[in-house]
Amino acid sequence: MAQKAIDLVTKATEDDKSKNYAEALRLYESAVEYFLHAMKYEVPNERAKESIRAKCKQYLDRAEKLKEYIEKNKDKKKPVKAGAGNAGGKKGGGGGGSKDSDSDDEDPTKRKMEAKMEGAIVAEKPNVSWDDVAGLEGAKSALKEAVILPIKFPHMFTGKRTAWRGILLFGPPGTGKTYLAKAVATEANNSTFFSVSSADLVSKWMGESEQHVKALFTMAREHKPSIIFIDEVDSLCASRSEQESESARRIKTEFLVQMQGVGNQNESVLVLGATNIPWVLDSAIRRRFEKRIYIPLPEAPARTTMFRLNLGDTPHSLNEDDFRILGSKTDGYSGADISIVVRDALMQPVRKVQTATHFKYVSGPSVDDPSVTVDDLLTPCSPGEAGAMELTWEQVPSDRLFEPVVSMRDMMRSLADSKPSVNDEDLNKLRKFTEDFGMEG
């Protein structure tokens, strides 16, 4: 039943992206029904139930938006152009309908642009909450001020008090800029989230790139409140120079016009950018990002939390003191670096199983049913331990392996083999940019 629900959601997402909204609405609602039945009869784990409830809420929110859109547009009729009614059966009536196909040229182009930008809408929320982001309280506070509060209390943001319309997240690679954007996408329940990169906007055809930018902002205004997240914004909006191509210059110009140009009303539209090299941004683009927030390397308490979050519910023997020691020993490591250390440590039990020459019997939860304890599980051991039997992993039945837990020794071994990915030269450039133009996150 759970698998059926997953299949329905997959199909619903495809129909949603293809703008087949009526069918997507039906599939979302059916999927939620299957998920609810699965929770009742197939899912004993309370944590899994919570995850399913969160997903169902997302699907129902999207279904509600689709329902509103369908209701709003069901009575709209496609306008008939002058002369279209009698163009079908006449070939030589004085030329009265001979140019109808030419007059429709703009509509297919516009539909093509909108269809491309529809793919940038994040239909399924990433399920990342603020609590999943370790540290970065300043950045989280600024994003809540720019995104969550204006949606929840719109009456507070009237007159001269307006919400921020451009926020730039900058800092070393792997410090959580994209992860923060995922949290924004999850927490901003009633907004439309567009996630774009240069691949979505840049075209080899002359004039198409700036049309993509215009279509993106037009759709954001139509679906407001909206958030446009541009990852690696430096690839699109680097400083203008005489050596750059005409198409690169035009796409930057269109960004400038759309973000803060005459006649463009961007109320309830937030542009959220992320970059590792903010000093290459064009000064006019930089100005349009009203808040420029530095996302630094994590401090020791945040690193401690990251080790705990990355381990998750994997069986381990680490205590709070161990986590604090790991946090203190990883000065200069980014969040991505810590994630790699933990992923390598999680593989240490697999390596123990692979290289073990002896196993012994232990008691533990059954592989098939964790609620049942069995006494004939096999776990790797040293040859001198009591009860050790000479075996290889190939001789151990698949349902009889008791995996070793991740230990502090595993963590330290993985930490010894890894190095931080950020150098001092880049950090100095980022600090200088923060002093000149930014604020600490």
pLDDT bin (cut points 50, 70, 90) of residue 414 is: very high
Average pLDDT, the chain: 80
Residue 412 identity: M
The rounded distance, in Å, linking the Cα atoms of 55 and 11 is 15
Least confident of 122-126, 127-131, 334-338: 122-126
Q: Considering only 46-50, 77-81, 314-318, 428-432, which range has the smallest mean pLDDT?
A: 77-81
- Return the DSSP state at 372: S
| Intra-chain end-to-end CA distance of the chain, in Å | 44
- Higher pLDDT: 440 or 94? It is 440
Spatial separation of the C-alpha atoms in residues 293 and 168, rounded to whole Å: 6
- The average pLDDT across 179-185 equals 86
Q: Are 275 and 233 in contact (CB under 8 A)?
A: yes
Give Cβ neighbours of residue 115 (< 8 Å, ≥ 6 apart). Answer: 19
Specify the amino acid at residue 80. Answer: V
Gap between the Cα atoms of 186 and 128, Å rounded: 6
Mean pLDDT of 273-301: 89
Statement: residue 108 has pLDDT above 70: no
Is the separation of the CB atoms in 18 and 121 below 8 Å? no
Q: What is the DSSP letter of 380?
A: E
What integer is the mean pLDDT of 343-348?
93
Distance CA 227, CA 225 (A): 7
Instruction: Output the CA torsion sign for 279, 283, 284, 289.
Output: positive
Residues linked to residue 121 through DSSP beta bridges, in sequence order: 194
Q: Which region among 80-84, 306-310, 392-396, 423-427 has the lowest average model confidence (pLDDT)?
A: 80-84
193 touches 121 (CB < 8 A): yes
Q: What is the pLDDT of residue 89?
A: 42
| Among 217, 198, 235, 187, CA closest to 54 | 187
Beta strands in 346-407 (DSSP E): 358-365, 373-381, 389-390
Q: What is the pLDDT of residues 291-330, one digit of tens each?
A: 888 988 989 999 999 999 899 888 899 999 999 999 999 9
Look up residue 158 and give its amino acid: T
Dist. CA 20–CA 11, nearest whole Å: 11
- Residue 96 pLDDT level (bands cut at 50, 70, 90): very low
Written as one letter, the residue type at 362 is: V
Confidence of residue 261 (pLDDT cuts 50, 70, 90): low
The whole-number pLDDT of residue 399 equals 86
Could you give the percent of the chain with pLDDT greater than 70?
A: 85
Would you state the torsion angle of the CA atoms of residues 420, 421, 423, 428, taken in this order, to the nearest 10 degrees? -100
More confident residue, 45 or 235: 235
User: Looking at residues 265-276, what average pLDDT do you find?
Assistant: 83
> Phi, psi at residue 5, to the nearest 5°?
-65, -40
Q: Is the CB of residue 330 less than 8 Å from the CB of residue 415?
A: yes
Q: Residue 95 pLDDT > 50, yes or no?
A: no
Phi-psi region of 123 (alpha: psi -120 to 50; beta: other; left: phi over 0): alpha
Confidence category of residue 237, pLDDT binned at 50, 70, 90: confident
Q: Burial, 31: exposed, middle or buried (Cβ in 10 Å; 0-12, 13-18, 19+)? A: buried
The per-residue DSSP string of 249-301 comes to HHHHHHHHHHHH-TT---TTEEEEEEES-GGGB-HHHHHH--EEEE--PPPHH
Domains of the chain: 1-71 (1.20.58.80), 130-297+435-440 (3.40.50.300), 300-416 (1.10.8.60)
